[in-house]
Amino acid sequence: VDEEHRLNAMEVEIDAECGNIIARRQPTASDLRQVMAISKGITNLERAGDEARKIAKRTRRIAQDGAGRNINVADIQSSGQMAASILHHALAAFARLDTVAAAAIMSEDEAIDDRYRAFVRKLPAYMAGNPRVIASALDYLFIASAIERIGDHAKNLAELVIYVVKGTDVRHVSRERLEREALDH
């Protein structure tokens, strides 16, 4: 909880500093886009941290309950690893303003989304087969959902890279157009 308060305070501090930069220096073009992207990016990082906290809380509850041990969680485990990886890649792409790396993150996020949907499709069968696992199954569902959202936050960071470098908002465009924007030199 203390760490959560510290991270929230850092988010507010960075956001305030972005506001000060805009007010005092009046950046234009790519400089303004970069300041705005930092402000939006820090919010995505804070939210990814919130999701990680939720995962830890649910995992503790599952470990204490023990009833969900018969549920195959391979999709969730690999999705969690993928989400951590693409978040790391998104941060690296942001630091280097690498649009090619940012575009690759989109495909990785789709893979996490696919695994999330696969797990959700399997979940009713687990619950029907053993009603004692329903509480744990729902915890796993919340974990899978949080992992999927971490992937979405990484994707949002990648979209911000393209916005800073290319000046194009790609949040609500097709993957094909996003890749064209990212890879067009």
pLDDT at residue 185 in the model: 59
**Is the pLDDT reported for residue 87 higher than 90?**
yes
Question: Exposed, middle or buried: residue 170 (CB in 10 Å: 0-12, 13-18, 19+)?
Answer: buried
Segment 15-24 shows an average pLDDT of 94
Percent of all residues in the chain with a pLDDT value above 90, rounded to a whole number: 65
pLDDT at residue 179 in the model: 78
Residue 131, number of CB atoms within 10 A of its CB: 10
Percent of all residues in the chain with a pLDDT value above 70, rounded to a whole number: 98
From CA 181, how far away is CA 175, in angstroms rounded? 10
Segment 157-184 shows an average pLDDT of 87
Segment 109-118 shows an average pLDDT of 94
Q: Is the pTM of this model over 0.75?
A: yes
From CA 15, how far away is CA 11, in angstroms rounded? 6
pLDDT tens digits, one per residue of 32-83: 999 999 999 999 999 999 999 999 999 998 888 876 777 778 889 999 999 9
Query: Hey, what domains does the chain have and what are their CATH numbers?
Result: 2-183 (1.20.58.220)
pLDDT category, 106, cuts 50, 70, 90? confident
Q: Identify whether the C-beta of residue 52 lies closer than 8 Å to the C-beta of residue 153.
A: no
Pair of tokens at residue 134: 């329903």
**Is the pLDDT reported for residue 1 higher than 80?**
no
pLDDT at residue 162 in the model: 94
pLDDT tens digits, one per residue of 122-153: 889 888 888 888 888 999 999 999 999 999 99
**Is the pLDDT reported for residue 182 higher than 80?**
no
